[in-house]
Chains A and B, each alone.
Chain A
Amino acid sequence: MHDRRLDGETLTFGNNGGLYMNAMTWWDHGTESVWAQPWGAVIRGSRTGQSLTLLPGEIVRWGAWIADHPETLVLVDERGKHFGRQVPNEEFVIGVAIQDAAVGYYFPSAKEQGVVNDDIGGFPVVVLVNQVEGDIDVYLRTAANPKSPGESQSLTFELNADGLVQDVETKSTWDVDRGAAVSGPLRGTVLQQVPYISSFDWAWEDFYPATSFWGEKPIRPLPDFFG
């Protein structure tokens, strides 16, 4: 999910039809430059060197989405009645790239643990996965320090005995979906959300060769089309 604005202009994108390193490519209607989706960046054409800002979005079960967003609108089109349905497949990584560093978190391991405190290229990051619904949220785990105003501190998150996410430093509890502390000394504090991409690990490594991986690679059955 990308912001289509670039240098004060709103771009319109089509499907370029070709694959770059096995991933989809776009073309923009203004200059017909070719873009690689996993980077959100131009690979060929007059816009070479430019890229879009990745925005936080999520891939989530409908039941969980509608519970949190009852006013949501849903995309339909003329083929809407005939499309298939995609049910969860857990063999992917949660790909997070910040500046020149990247980490792929194996989803089953992250879901099992629920909370992963990590650092990506010097940025303290927390990856939160709902152990029932599988919702994924990634934030910078940095907040104002209530004991030392004007300074920020890194927080370390954990699940408490009630299954709520809390930070070790202040024992504040947090609304995971909003990245907001809802009780404790940090109540009202909001974390900076970090966008992520759901990807197969091999594709993530193709586009972010410096990536490391966290967690255990699932033993993957061969996909249907090989069988």
Chain B
Amino acid sequence: MQLTRLQLFPCTSSLPFGALLVAIALVAVACGSGSQVANAVDRQLDDESVGRLSSLRATGVGAFDPDSYTGTLPRDAIVPVYEPSFVSPDEIELWPNELVMGVEINGESHAYPIGLMRIREMVNDEVGGVPILVSW
């Protein structure tokens, strides 16, 4: 799927001009101050936004070169996380300066401490209703 640059911008893609104005007005009314504007913008990931991300997707995956593949370990020797468990921040002690991978989708946020990702490497998860693969 190829989209033009103009189509990539959601507000100008398919809405008729009138609807665009209404949408802008609604946003303006709904947002009294700057920070409220920002808070109103959840990271929404519906089919349309996934489609936009998909259209940006890199092309040019090279042909498989067997000489570039080195088999070092059996499958799942580094055990992936298939059924992740989570705690709230007050149940875990993390250093303020340690790194996490963070994702926010449809108002839901998950953090994956990098120290743990180095051991497990892969997490099959679901955030905000979207199934995701987190890998390190």
- Residues of chain A touching chain B, judged by Cβ–Cβ distance below 8 Å, are 1-5, 10, 12-21, 24-27, 36-37, 39, 41, 43-44, 48, 51-63, 65-66, 69-77, 79-80, 83-88, 97-100, 102, 122-124, 140, 142-144, 149-152, 173, 175, 177-183, 187-190, 192-195, 208, 210
Contacts and interface: CB of A to CB of B under 8 A. Distances in A.
Contacts of A195: 53, 56
Range class of the B interface residue count: 35 or more
A3 B50 contact: yes
Contacts of A51: 57, 61
Nearest to A182: B34
B54 to A, nearest CB: 5
Interface string B45-56: 100001011101
A86 B115 contact: yes
A76 B86 contact: yes
Nearest to B131: A4
A75 B72 contact: no
Given A57-B103, A98-B56, A1 B68 contact: no
Contacts of A192: 8-10, 52
A16 B120 CA distance: 13
B87 A59 contact: no
A86 B98 contact: yes
18 contacts: A1-B132, A1-B133, A3-B131, A14-B76, A17-B71, A54-B58, A56-B53, A57-B134, A61-B98, A62-B96, A62-B99, A75-B81, A85-B113, A123-B56, A140-B5, A182-B38, A192-B9, A193-B43
A149 B110 contact: no
A179 to B, nearest CB: 7
Contacts of A59: 99-102, 114
A3 to B, nearest CB: 6
Interface string B9-46: 11110000100110010011001011101100101010
Given A152-B6, A173-B34, A188-B37, A17 B17 contact: no
Contacts of A1: 101, 103, 132-135
Interface in B79-105: 79-82, 84-89, 91-92, 94-105
B119 to A, nearest CB: 5
A60 B89 contact: no
Given A51-B57, A69-B102, A188-B37, 10 more contacts: A26-B122, A39-B58, A61-B100, A62-B98, A74-B91, A75-B116, A150-B20, A175-B37, A177-B38, A180-B37
B132 to A, nearest CB: 6
A19 B78 CA distance: 13
B58 A99 contact: yes
Contacts of B43: 56, 193
B73 A17 contact: yes
